[in-house]
Amino acid sequence: MNDSAQISAIHATAESDKEPLDCRAPDKTTSLPREARLPINRCNLPAAILGGLTFQQKPAALELDGVATLYAGLFKRLDLVDQAAERGRIFRDYLTVHFRLERLEDAGLQEDGQRNGKQRAKANWMRTVRGWSFNADSREGAVLKGWVESRFGLLPRHHIEPLRNYSEPAYRRYLEMRSAGLYGTNALEAQLDLLYSYCQYEFGREVPRRSHITLYRGINRIGEQEILEAGQTGNSDPIVLLNSLNSFTSSRERADEFGDYILETRVPTAKLLFHCQLLPDVLKGEDEYLVIGGVYAAKIKTY
């Protein structure tokens, strides 16, 4: 079936731009497939819940194990600051000092003369996010997908190629890239824990009642999307299984530059790892959001 036929089959092109995105239909109970999740994770909700359609409809706060306790002092300090830009500066300074990012010898880095080892030691949260922005299938992309897998229990569905059988070479290559990306770093995944928690903290302060944000993603081939349930006539939307981590944008026009079709969905703010306005000089342009995956109701449009 070609893309046009698939679009017709899921009734996506029949929707009007002016019609509000509806992912709250009470009869939709699609859950996260067992092969897309781990039985354990490191947050307050299991993957089967946070990765399912019900969570998109009625999200709850997600808290990573230990972060609130280990870094309580940082967030108490942030509570005293009214300006978002100043809070961002404090957050970045805290990461630099706490993880010794500019004095890695304090964290055990040894000058062994190996150039590659020195380069890996310099890998940190910022370089990882920027690496993802350049190429989601890079080593940095594998690290971020691995972080989502570890913390939220959502297995990656794509890295360079589809990942469906976790005993095959494609998944082993992803694991090798993830391991190489973490090797020689100073608690890189703990840095990402703080980045996610800071993103959630800022959303809670700036827009405390905002549970969702409508985002867009440009895609080229409908057949490459994991559509779990086709939308029926009326207001229902196709149900898709997204990769463990995905790039979206808040600009519909920008999304149109990245594909022939646009995937539009309401994303729970609890599933945002990072966005370009959080720390403006980290990512520039594209109005990019890093979205944690799972099952979503979404519209797929050609215009």
Q: Where are the domains of the chain?
A: 3-62+210-301, 67-205
pLDDT of residue 26: 36
- Which are the contacts of 4, defined by CB distance < 8 A and separation ≥ 6? none
First to last CA, the chain: 20
pLDDT of residue 303: 66
Confidence of residue 40 (pLDDT cuts 50, 70, 90): very high
Q: Answer yes or no: is pLDDT of 68 > 80.
A: yes
pLDDT in tens, 260-274: 889 999 999 999 999
Instruction: Give the span between the Cα atoms of 79 and 206, in whole angstroms.
Output: 12
pLDDT in tens, 142-161: 999 999 999 999 999 999 99
Confidence of residue 222 (pLDDT cuts 50, 70, 90): confident
Residue 147's nearest CA partner among 66, 231, 42 is: 42
Give residue 23's Cα distance to chain centre.
19
Average predicted confidence (pLDDT) for the chain: 85
Give percent above pLDDT 70 in the chain. Answer: 82
Instruction: Decide: 298 and 246 in contact? Cβ < 8 Å.
Output: no
